[in-house]
Amino acid sequence: MCAADRLPVQTATLSTLLRPASGDAPATVVSLNDTWLEAEISAPIVSLDKRVGDSVARGEAVVRLDCRRFTREQELAAANVEVLTARENLAAQRLERARGLRRSKNIAEESFNQREAEFASAKAETQAQQVALSIARDNVARCEIKAPFAGVVAARQAQLGELAAPGKQLLRLLDTTTVELAAQLPARDIASLQQATAATYRHNEQPYPVRVRAIVPNIETGTRTQEIRLTFSGPAPPPGASGRLRWQLDTGLLPAEYLVRRADGLGVLVARGGTAAFVPVPGAREGRPTPVDLPPHTQVITAGRYSVSHGDAIAVTPQ
């Protein structure tokens, strides 16, 4: 084939066309423990020393309620348990004697059944009162509202002397040490992040290394994004900090302008000897840069690619 029959094209080495593969998205530091401490019983607040910004240790009592009524209820329930236990013991002794008389046939069946019923009733009353005592003890324990984790008081809605009711929010406790990073990413960016060699979160120009912990499978209807959670490899900013999540891939991306569509889908046209060859690129999308699994020295047809097809004879002309 003479040179005149070959289609003129221009080429470039693949390695010179690739652009750095990276990603960038807004992200926010979130606390894994952020909760409102609530009252479980109704009683006046008699102690509330913590203010917004104060640190709290795990298990520390941060709010104390007036417990006099609940202490008396506990004492009354305990006394009732003693009375009913004594009654149950007496009923048990009578039943045991009745069993002996029954074996010697010296007691009527009706009288024996009555002794059994008395014991069963006394036992049930004792058990019910023991439950009441357990509830009373729980209420006494609820007079002290303790921190479930170490943290900082982020908000306060209660006042000394105020009546606390069940479900009333008293203090908001924020864990400032157990945090992670949350970001909303499109599916294509999530795949890119998973392949990244390194990811960092930047807040106030300070970089923080992070790594992917989990990807929430739910896709938000409005934004078509998924939530991704990342953990910090070292120190972390405080909860609520906003910044940018950035990541870098080892492989470069081929700009979308060099992609062409043929019957086999999207791909690139390359020069192999004096012939054009179409190489499909799996996963490529219109208008988006994409990774290409080809040797770096591959000659990609840059000019004239729309006028040639797979197998056409080509002549590479200087740029």
* Locus of tokens 């908001």: 172
C-alpha closest to that of 52 among 147, 157, 164: 157
Q: Which CATH class name applies to 3-20+253-316?
A: mainly beta
What's the pLDDT at 4?
59
Residue 2 in this model has a pLDDT that exceeds 70 = no
- How far, in Å, are 146, 275, 281, 291, 309 from residue 269 at the CA level? 69, 10, 11, 15, 8
Domain 67-141 has CATH 1.10.3470: no
For residues 312 and 72, which has the higher predicted lDDT (pLDDT)?
Answer: 72
pTM of the model: 0.67
Q: How far apart are CA 52 and CA 57, in angstroms?
A: 15
Kindly provide the b/e burial profile for residues 34-44, where b requires at least 16 CB atoms within 10 angstroms of the residue's own CB: bbebbbbbebe
Half-sphere exposure of 259 (CA within 13 A, CB side): 23
For residues 128 and 197, which has the higher predicted lDDT (pLDDT)?
Answer: 128
CATH for 22-32+176-248 (2.40.30.170, 3.30.470.20, 2.40.50.100, 1.20.1250.20)? 2.40.30.170
What's the pLDDT at 283?
81
Residues, the chain, total?
319
Given a contact cutoff of 8 angstroms between Cβ atoms, the answer to whether 141 and 192 are in contact is no
Q: How far apart are CA 230 and CA 226, in angstroms?
A: 13
Domain boundaries of the chain, sorted by first residue: 3-20+253-316, 22-32+176-248, 67-141
C-alpha closest to that of 30 among 252, 276, 213: 213
The one-letter amino acid code at 119 reads: F
Share of residues in the chain with pLDDT > 90 (%): 70
